[in-house]
Chain A
Amino acid sequence: MKRLKLPPWLVLLLPAILILSAVVLIPLVLSLYSSFTSYRLTRPDSIFNWVGLFNYEKAVTDAKFWAAFGRTVLLLTVALNLEMLLGLGLALMVSKVTHGQRLLRTMMMFPMMFSPILVGFQFKFIFNDNVGLVNNALQSLGITDRAIPWLVDADLAMFSIIFAEVWTATSVFGILILAGLYAIPRDPLEAAKVDGCTSWQSFRYVTLPFLMPFIYIAMAIRSLDVARAYDIVQVMTNGGPARRTELLWTLIGRTGYVDARMGYANAMGYISIFLAIFFTVYFFKKLTKSRKELGMGA
């Protein structure tokens, strides 16, 4: 009897292939498939109800979806830029400190050590209009005598979410940019001084180009992070009030698990992933380019 003989490379790869298909491939295919059905969690047999591109058409014509999409892009743009500026400032200051720099570096990482859920609860409390820290402080300082509805007013709620997001993640930029600052060779900076640069000009023309790759790495990491933002928003405002802080993934989560329309949620999910992919690819392109400018390989 002849036994079936697999080529050795396949045998060796088989465990990896099996695990990957179990945890990645099958869920991916299943979710992609279900986005073409009217699958509802409450009626499992609906997964066989093929509806073609119906879910996708519905999503791209859904004003609520595009509002959430726009809000996510807004959050991404504002939060990333703020984090970058603050992180840069922080890193520059820490790098100038002569004593206790190690301690400061550790402290810089503190916000990253908390679960986003906890951060959400913390800021939900801080911005609470009755018992919150901010309103209490403002009132006792006599700056206002009203209870400012931080988490209820649409603009203020968005502001509060961005604030919380920036608080947690500025250190990502801070740490990466600090690493960049340590990696800058001393010579070109000294050459710039001799060439007549003020400290601002040295920063602008020498330090910054050297930091750009680090900034783009942080951007790529954070754009993925923010594009899938869910936890902080879910906890702080639950996408409300009246969907005024609804982001892509809070909307998708609600559609999938609360409304139980999983097929539709998956369709929106697949569209949303393009957002994340787009930003990541964009920042990686920038990263490669800035590295090339510095002559650091392709």
Chain B
Amino acid sequence: MAQVHLRNVVKKYGVLEVVHAINLDIADSEFVVLVGPSGCGKSTTLRMVAGLEAISGGEVHIGGRVVNDLPPRERNISMVFQNYALYPHMSVRENLGFSLKISKRSQADIDKAVDEAAEILSLTPLLDRKPGALSGGQRQRVAMGRAIVRHPEVFLFDEPLSNLDAKLRTQMRVEIKKLHQKLKSTIIYVTHDQVEAMTLADRIVIMRDGHIEQIGTPLDVFENPVNTFVATFIGSPPMNLLDGVVKEGQIEFGDGTCLAVPPAYSTYDGQAVTFGVRADNIMPVGHALPRGEHMAEVEMTVDLTEPLGTETLLFTVLAGTEVQAKMLNPRPVRSGERMTFQIMLDKCHLFDADTGATLKK
């Protein structure tokens, strides 16, 4: 097992720089998820760690070695690709055993390792089939099996679940988590799905445009986003953001609506801010929000509802901006209905209106 360090790692395609001097320290047997919107450089970063993409600047360390100039096969990693990348001309058994065969292990060793991996991933009945005769989920499991037979120091996953349907994705997510608990290897996992990131990660790395925006545990990035980008990217639905100005203990929004300033932010008088609040912290009165001291009440009209079963999302307008609120213990709501909502000011965030950076409490 191994630690992975990225030191000022840069990737350039010609003059175009797509990864800008990123730093990342990954502990032994940690599960780190790189997440970010499409095109932000997640795959590129992962592929540099794998050795499939040349590193334009900086250093990548795996298990204490600088691996910049080592080919993939000397890095002791294995990778699961988004499109499975199975060898179509080999049976499942051969696919699984290929890396061991290449490293000249004995047939008995190979068989044992393959059977073991097949057992873990319930692939045993499929061992003699070709990848062409497998479903998407089965192919995905083979791709994972191929990665685990070698017991590498580091696993790299590049959006391994994005080609699966929602149900299978949830199922495989659990499988991957179990696998990590069993194998205890270091995992770097790329996804653009923040739910996957939240559920799988020990730590989440949020990237945008080739920069790392924030690194932290799932709860940490959820509760303390460093800027509006992270605040809207992590968590579903995204955090509601409203622009306003702090004035004498009140935030005044563009249309003149005022809300009390969240208590932790009392020192920002006169500053233009972005006020952030999650749907979880705006609820109709009487809907399972603990009654606290710092509570604001507003009356709003519900435009649209999205019932999700255990909860219902309510789309309303606050101070001229569309916001989403949540209702636990749902009851049917008519659109156009006026309701009184409570906003939990303790849980609200203030960001700098210009930079989007979070303001210190």
Contacts and interface: CB of A to CB of B under 8 A. Distances in A.
A187 B83 contact: yes
Chain A interface main SS type: helix
B291 interface: no
Contacts of B88: 188, 293-295
B85 interface: yes
Q: Name the residue among A192, A194, A209 with the largest chain B CB count within 10 angstroms.
A: A194
Given A187-B85, A294-B88, A194 B130 contact: no
A190 interface: yes
Interface in B118-155: 130-133, 146, 150
Contacts of A196: 72-73, 99, 102-103, 150
Interface stretch (A39-47, A88-96, A147-155, A198-206): A198-206
A293 B87 CA distance: 10
Nearest to B74: A196
A183 to B, nearest CB: 13
Contacts of B150: 195-196
A208 to B, nearest CB: 10
Interface residues of A, number: 20
Interface in B53-94: 71-73, 77-79, 81, 83-89
A191 interface: yes
A194 B71 CA distance: 9
A193 interface: yes
B51 interface: yes
Nearest to A210: B89
Nearest to A197: B102
A215 to B, nearest CB: 14
Contact of A191 (B77, B87, B132): B87
A190 B81 contact: yes
Nearest to A293: B89
Nearest to A297: B132
B50 interface: yes
A190 B52 contact: yes
8 contacts: A185-B85, A190-B52, A193-B71, A194-B72, A206-B87, A293-B89, A294-B89, A295-B132
Interface of A: 185, 187-188, 190-198, 201, 205-206, 209-210, 293-295
Interface of B: 50-52, 71-73, 77-79, 81, 83-89, 98-99, 102-103, 130-133, 146, 150
